[in-house]
Amino acid sequence: MGVKAPDGERCPCGSGDVYADCCRPLHTGERPAETALALMRSRFSAFALGQGDYLLASWHPRTRPKRLHLDRDVEWRRLQIVDTDAGAHDDTSGVVEFRAQYVRDGARHILHERSRFTREKGRWLYLDGDELE
C-alpha cells in the first residue's frame, strides 16, 4: 500500500512534470520506461509513494529480493541525477548515478548510488547498484 499522488501535482521524481503525465503511467503499467533514466526516476517516485509492488516488478529477477520492506519512517524528498552512461532507447544496458535526499527521525540523509540497468525484451529493469560516499 502506498501514498497516492494526486495526478495534478508535480511528480516526486523532480522532472517538473505532473505525476499523471510522468511516472504514473509507468507505475500503472500503461507504458514502460523508455530509458534507464526514466526507470530510475519512476523508481524514486515509487519509493516516495510507497509503491513496493512497482519496485519489485521493475527489478531484474536475478537480483530482485523475495520481499521488500519500505520503511514508513523514511520520507524521500528529492532526486538529483548526477550522471548517466548509455541507457537510451536502443541500448541494452545503462548506468544512472544519483543522489536521493531523504529524512529519517528528523535528520536529513543522502543516498548516493550508481545504479545499473538492463533492457530485456524491450523493457528496462533495475539490476543493482553501488553506494557511493
Which amino acid, 72?
Answer: R
Enter the pTM of the model.
0.94
Provide the pLDDT confidence category of residue 8 given band limits of 50, 70 and 90: confident
Cβ atoms of residues 129 and 113 within 8 Å: yes
pLDDT bucket at 2, cuts 50 / 70 / 90: very low
Instruction: Report the chain's mean pLDDT, rounded to a whole number.
Output: 94
Mean predicted confidence (pLDDT) in 6-16: 88
Alpha helices in 1-133 (DSSP H): 24-27, 36-49, 52-57
116 or 6: whose pLDDT is higher? 116
Query: Is the model's pLDDT at 86 over the cut of 80?
Result: yes
| Cβ atoms of residues 109 and 76 within 8 Å | no
- Flag whether pLDDT at 27 surpasses 50: yes
Identify residue 110 by its one-letter amino acid code.
Answer: I
